Amino acid sequence: MKKFMMIGKVGHGKTTLSQQLHGMDIEYKKTQAVELVGDDTIDTPGEYLERKERYSALIVTATDADVVILLCAANDTMCTFSPGMGSMFAGKELVGVVTKIDLADEKQIKRAKFMLEFAGCQKIFEVSCPTGEGVDRLKEYIGMD
């Protein structure tokens, strides 16, 4: 069984997308620790990405994952991922997901995609959880059962 790991800033939609990928009811809950959603998805607290001193926790947690998914909300105005950042997960398949496309325009979506590309994502998807757009395409690509 493949394992997936979600990484992104607080509020960018990691937990919601994890629930949606598993067909679960969407329930808001602040993620305070590394948690397993379903039996294959490692959900992480956004603070692990936002605070550089916690990067080591991301690296250690990623050893259990086959696919690392970097998420960036389309309406984010900050630079979430620095160029080449994905290399800290050396050897893992790196997939980018632009979330919240329902809240953004084309220019914003493109900006988020560039950032994920520069971070090192080999493939990038655009999703909206309220509409479900793009979620099945992502699920199929990563090979989630």
Ligand X SMILES: Nc1nc2c(ncn2[C@@H]2O[C@H](COP(=O)(O)OP(=O)(O)O)[C@@H](O)[C@H]2O)c(=O)[nH]1
62 Cβ partners below 8 Å, 6+ apart?
Answer: 5, 68, 89, 92
113 binds ligand X (CB under 6 A): no
Minimum distance, C-beta of residue 91 to Mg ion, in the bound complex (Å) = 25
As a whole number of Å, the end-to-end CA separation of the chain is 9
Specify the residue for token string 């960018």: 12
* Dihedral sign computed on CA atoms, order 111, 115, 116, 117: positive
Of all helices (H) and strands (E), which one includes residue 89? none
Exactly one of 83, 84, 130, 143 binds ligand X (CB under 6 A); that residue is 130
Residues 11-50 touching Mg ion, rule: CB under 5 A, are 14-15, 31
102 binds ligand X (CB under 6 A): yes
Question: How far, in Å, CA of 121 to CA of 42, rounded?
Answer: 18
Exactly one of 65, 72, 129, 142 binds ligand X (CB under 6 A); that residue is 129
80 binds ligand X (CB under 6 A): no
Exactly one of 2, 10, 24, 59 binds ligand X (CB under 6 A); that residue is 10
Using the minimum distance from each CB to ligand X, give the nearer residue, 80 or 128.
128
Binding residues for ligand X (CB under 6 A): 8, 10-16, 28, 31, 46, 99-100, 102-103, 128-130
